[in-house]
Each structure stands twice: as C-alpha cells, then as structure tokens.
Structure 1
Amino acid sequence: MRSTMDKAGRVVLPAAIRDSLGFRPGPIDIVVDGTGVRLEMPTADNVEEQDGRLVITAEGPSLTADDIRKLRVADQR
C-alpha cells in the first residue's frame, strides 16, 4: 500500500488499517526500525514483557492473601 506525506510530514493511515490494528486518536510511538519506521500504540508505563508475556507491575508492597480477604470482607459490608 502506498500513501502520501504532506509538507508538514503527515501521513494518513487508511481507516481499515487503523481499525484492524486498534489505533485510536491520541499519542502514538514512532520507532525507527532499520530502513523505515514503525508506529505502535503506546503501552502503560507499568506493563513489561517477561518471558514472552505482558505483565502489569506495581509499586509498593505486595498484597498478601490476608490483605485480600480483608478487602473482600470490607467490600461486602
């Protein structure tokens, strides 16, 4: 597929491509990749890849089973 770049450097991605890749209006990461560029939807800062899987990381102490039980009991009140 071929598109055109305007004088301001803008390129329109066809709607079918945007929809199939889940691109929405907003920030987009631009990655220089070899002889071209790659557009990626940004991920949250707390998402990492570990052993080929995406993992959500959190700051602060981990919740124990007792902490979770207390939260559940409090939520049921």
Structure 2
Amino acid sequence: MRAVRVHAYHEDPTIDDIPEPTIQGPLDVIIKVGGAGVCRTDLHIINGDWAEAMAPELPYVIGHENAGWVHEIGEGVTNVA
C-alpha cells in the first residue's frame, strides 16, 4: 500500500510503498481508506514540534483524518462489520 511518511523533521514527507496492515490483536480494525486529509497535528509532526513530547519513531506514517470502509476486524470486535 502507499503511505505518506516523514523520514526526517523539517523535510517534505514522501509517498512510500509499505506492507499492508494485518490484524495484530482481537480489537483491531483495518480500514480501506477512501479519502484522507491533513490536519495541524500532521504539520506539527513534520516540523518536529512534538519530537520530544511524543517521540514518534521515524519514518512515521502521517494522517489520521481518514474515511473509508471496514476491511477486516479482530475476533473481539462487535460494534462494526
């Protein structure tokens, strides 16, 4: 799959091919993203503003303003299908 990742602070993120996510635990949900946006949090991560407080491991996949469809659920998920 393709993902936008930050490899270094204060540099433009890149679009990389990364492995498809897999269910790791019983409460995991995998979404097939239909649309994604950028929010101020993403810009803070790119700028390294929260590097000390949050310490995201680089490379870091940005983007959490997403919409899509449930693709797969863990065995303990009961509220989405």
Q: Structures share a fold, TM > 0.5? A: no
Which protein is bigger by CA-based radius of gyration? 1
Which structure has greater helix proportion?
Answer: 1
Which structure has greater strand proportion?
Answer: 2
Class of the TM-score when normalised by the shorter of the 2 chains: under 0.3
Per chain length, whose mean CA-contact separation is higher, i.e. which structure has more relative contact order (CA < 8 Å, sep 6+)? 2
